Each structure stands twice: as structure tokens, then as C-alpha cells.
Structure 1
Amino acid sequence: MPDLAKKIDAAAAAVRERCGRTPRVAVVTGTGLGGLAEAVAVEAEIPYLEIPHFPASTAPGHRGRLLLGELGGASVAVLDGRFHSYEGYTLAECTFPIRVVRALGAETLVLTNAAGGLNPAFELGDSMLIEDHIDLLPGNPLTGPNDDALGPRFPDMFEPYDRGLLALAREEAAAAGMTLREGVFVAVPGPNLETRAEYRMLRGFGADVVGMSTVPECIVAKHCGLKTLAFSVVTDLCDPDRLEPVDIAKIIATAERGGAALSALLQRVIPRL
């Protein structure tokens, strides 16, 4: 953890050299959801590989750049692309950018992802507000000695997603006439998709959507004092009794289509954060 603090400081200092803006809201874009970046009045665009200690973004649809600018009057930092454990990174490495945007001044974190729909009521392209999660990833991003200057040894996950922000998202979705689903996200390691039996198990656990990210970022956000709001876009239907082969290109196309509606909602929500 002491080494982690030094790495955070080095990364934040490198970003400040490129742009003096203090972001108040940080956004992580998931697969196919980078369209929100187009709505940002960008002051600085920094490739991840030019920021000390940032991993390389290798997942399809993740452009691997940090955008600093303004969205609807809000000062934002957009992490245009995230990292996953299936890319070969530790969970601490996957969540390092969350700590950096916190060091830059962010107070609120908005997470987005593409996910498989377990709830039979969900349809392709639906947006879901994540009100809770189930963590089935191996390990934890907080494993190891704790640096109390970064956060508590045992962060409480009683309220992983801020209730006030959940209410705000519901309010804005209603005002926009948008159908916003709500439910539980379950994180699995990937990169393979799940079997019929696994989908049945995950549904039995009470999950509404399944994906391979987000939960470690939420845990680290809680550790370092960021309020968190998160959304999924349903990109494939995971009904074990009607399961069909998955086309990754179609998943990305669905993420982009559903992501456009979610982007419009976030352009209403973020200025109020």
C-alpha cells in the first residue's frame, strides 16, 4: 500500500501536468459505451499508456484514454475504457485509475458496463440501474497491507451504490420518459461466457444481470470515499432454457445501441452530481 500511494501520486502529477482541471465526477465507460465521451467538451485527452502505472486497455470497444473536460457544466474525468482481470491484470491494477481520479479531486463515480440479462423480463438494449451486486470474482482489490491514508481496513458495503444518487437517476429517467430497469449485478471472472447451469445458478442467487467488471471498482470507490452510481446495458439474453450461440460483434452493436439511450440519461444526471 505505501508503494501504491506513491504510484497514485505519480500518476496524478502526470495528469495535472497535462491539464489543471479538477474533475468532480468520474465516469468509467464499458464495452460499446464510449459514446458518452463524444458529449464531453474535452480540455485534455491522455492515452492510458502516457500515464505512469496505468495498464494497457486491451478489451474490444475500450479505447484506453482519459478525457478531462466539461459535461453539462460539470467538471468530469472520463475513463474511456476499463481493465478486467481476464486481461491478466490483478484487481488492484484494474482499479488503479479509480484511485487516481479520486486523487485528482473526483467526489462521485459513475460506472457503466455491458452485461448479460438474467432477468426474463429484460430485453436487449435495456438499461439497468445497479442497486446492489454479488461478487464472484477471485480475490479482492484491497488484499494486502492497508494504508489508512487511502481508506479503512474494512470498508462497509452496506450501501455500495449511493441511495441519493439512485433516487436522482430514477427521477431523471422518469422525466425523460425512459424505461430504466433496476436490479442486482453479479460479477464473474470471464472471459468465457457462462453455461446453462451457471446461468440457472446465478439467477438462483438473485442476480438480474451478469458481467465481468464493475464490482472491484465499486469496492475501491467505497474504500477511498467516492459516492458511486452504476448502470448496465443488457447486450445478450441469458435464458438457460432458450440459450443461443453468442455473436460478440452483435453484443458490441447492442451495447452501442443501448448505450446511446444510457448516454442521453447520463447527460441529464451528471450535471446534477
Structure 2
Amino acid sequence: MLAQIQETAQWIKDHTSLRPTTAIVLGTGLGRLAEEIEVIEKFPYADIPNFPVSTVEGHSGCLIFGRLGDKEVLAMQGRFHYYEGYDMKQVTFPIRVMHELGVKTLFVSNASGGVNPDFAIGDLMFITDHINFFPEHPLRGKNFPTGPRFPDMSAAYNPELLQLARNIAQEKGIRHVEGVYVGTQGPTFETPAEYRMYYRIGGDAVGMSTVPEVIVAHHTGIRVFGISIITDLGVEGKIVAVSHEEVQVAANAVQPIMADLMREMIKRSC
């Protein structure tokens, strides 16, 4: 795996002169944030050696190098999920490549179902912590030399970036909530009983991604900020049937606000 990571990183270095230290993972319905980026190079995943290919609607499947404001950035326009049939090494392969390329800060985004009764559809949730419900751990197996065998996870979501997001949201009058993200394997949406369980164990929102990426990023020393768009509600009395298409629509509606927040965070932090 290490040889593949190095081969992929070298291929990317050979195809672009940009060396961004900031990366963004754009999740379901959030790929349009790429329109905010001045694209210098754009590589379909299928063209990149050893890269998996995104199969989910709403995930374009391109690696973008460009500028957001006056900062160089690398952006994943679509991610890989455990439910697509990939193992955790494949799901988190791009994060390993980012580290090899010199990325120091990672912004991750996703769409999720809110289980906190105080949440509303369209809320931006700053992720303060997570609960890992994936059946396979991304660090299982031989330890990579990027971090310790037993990494501490007490601050997987960087406190300084979280405070910066709070400050910017206050300045711009952006409504936001904060909470714990529960990561599950999917691909089914949750049952009412599962929603209740996730809330009772301390979750505020539930989704099918992000947690493996954050674990591996943290293991490599990359600092992380995570944001989740609440696209549906798993709150008793408010649960309705939901489709992937509806999740995309809800996420797209909030995209300009999230783009504004992330643009300002990257400007000030990287």
C-alpha cells in the first residue's frame, strides 16, 4: 500500500506544479463548491493510478488543483464510501496521498440526518467529535509510519479551526449548530429505532462517511475541520421517508453559505 501511495503522489506531482497544503473533501450535494475554485488542473479519478472511482450520484469523481481566494487548494469532488464495496484502505487512500503531497489542513464536509431535536433541515453543524460505527477500522493492520500504533483521538477535530469557524459564523451572521457525528456503514437510511439509539448514546447527526477519513488524517498529523449539512431529520415525530435525491437538493440549497464560510476559513488559517 505504501508503494501505491507513493506512486500515486508522484504521478500527481508530475502532472501539476501546484503544491497546496490545504485540501477539501466535498460530500453529497456539495460538489458545487468546486465552482468557487479557480481550477488550474483537474484529474478524473479514473485517470489517477491506484485511485478508486466514485460510484455515487452527486459525486463527480475528480481531483481538483486550483485556488480558492488567494490560497492554493486540492479538492476531492466526490469521495469513496465503505458501502460502495471498498475496504477502508481504499476509502482512505486519498487521505494518505494528501499527506504524501504535503497537505497540512483538511476540510471535510458531508450531508447527514439530524437526530438532535433542536436541529432543523438546512442547519450547518460544526463537527466537534464523532462516534465510529463502521465495522472495519481504517488503521487495522500494519501501522503506517505516519503516526503511532495507538493514536490519541481526544482532539480529532482541531480546536483552533473550530473556534475560527465560530468566530467567522458570528461575524457573518451564519446560523450554525455544533454536535457529534455518528458514522455508519450504510447504504440504508436509519430506522426510527436506530435514530433514537444514536441520539441516546450522544450523537447529534448520522451519516455514512467522514469518520474513516478523519481518523487517517489525524493519524498522519493533518489537522481537520468538519462540517455537516443537516439534510433530513431523524427526530421522533419529524421522521419522513427520504431519498438520496432529496438529500442532494437540501445540501445544494445551503451550499453558498458553506462556501462562504470555508473560503474565509481557508483565507485566515492556511
TM-score if structure 1 supplies the norm length?
0.96
Identity %: 44
Query: For 2:167 and 2:193, how far apart are their aligned partners in 1?
Result: 37
Query: For 2:165 and 2:217, how far apart are their aligned partners in 1?
Result: 19
Residue number in structure 2 paired with 1:113: 110
Secondary structure at the counterpart of residue 237 of structure 2: helix
Residue number in structure 2 paired with 1:253: 249
Query: For 1:7 and 1:251, how far apart are their aligned partners in 2?
Result: 34
Matches within 5 A, 1:48-197: 48-148=45-145, 150-197=146-193
1:241 deviation in Å? Answer: 3.0
Matches within 5 A, 1:222-261: 222-261=218-257
Residue number in structure 1 paired with 2:41: 44
Query: For 1:170 and 1:151, how far apart are their aligned partners in 2?
Result: 29
TM-score if structure 2 supplies the norm length?
0.97
The match for 2:264 among 265, 268, 271 is 268
Provide, for residues 130-161 of structure 1, a one-character-per-residue CA deviation record: whole Å limited to 9, x for no partner: 0000000111111111132x222111101010
**Which amino acid in the other structure matches residue 138 of structure 1?**
P
1:184 deviation in Å? Answer: 0.5
Query: For 1:10 and 1:35, how far apart are their aligned partners in 2?
Result: 29
Query: For 2:159 and 2:235, how far apart are their aligned partners in 1?
Result: 30
Secondary structure at the counterpart of residue 240 of structure 1: coil
1:203 deviation in Å? Answer: 0.6
Provide, for residues 78-98 of structure 1, a one-character-per-residue CA deviation record: whole Å limited to 9, x for no partner: 011000000000011001001
Residue number in structure 1 paired with 2:21: 24
**Which amino acid in the other structure matches residue 84 of structure 2?**
E
Secondary structure at the counterpart of residue 28 of structure 1: strand
1:242 deviation in Å? Answer: 3.2
**Is the aligned partner of 1:210 residue 2:225?**
no
1:180 deviation in Å? Answer: 1.3
Secondary structure at the counterpart of residue 158 of structure 1: coil
The match for 1:15 among 9, 12, 16 is 12
Instruction: Work out the number of aligned pairs and report it.
Output: 269
Could you list the runs of 4 or more consecutive aligned residues of structure 1 that deviate by over 6 angstroms after TM superposition?
none
Secondary structure at the counterpart of residue 20 of structure 2: coil
Provide, for residues 177-229 of structure 1, a one-character-per-residue CA deviation record: whole Å limited to 9, x for no partner: 10111110000110001111111100101111000000000000011110000
Does the CA-based 8 Å contact 1:27-1:76 persist in structure 2? yes
Secondary structure at the counterpart of residue 198 of structure 1: helix
Query: For 2:72 and 2:152, how far apart are their aligned partners in 1?
Result: 28
Secondary structure at the counterpart of residue 79 of structure 1: strand
1:18 deviation in Å? Answer: 1.2
Query: For 2:238 and 2:111, how far apart are their aligned partners in 1?
Result: 20
Query: For 1:145 and 1:114, how far apart are their aligned partners in 2?
Result: 32
Secondary structure at the counterpart of residue 86 of structure 2: coil
1:240 deviation in Å? Answer: 3.0
1:20 deviation in Å? Answer: 1.5
Gaps of 5+ in 1: none
Query: For 1:210 and 1:147, how far apart are their aligned partners in 2?
Result: 29
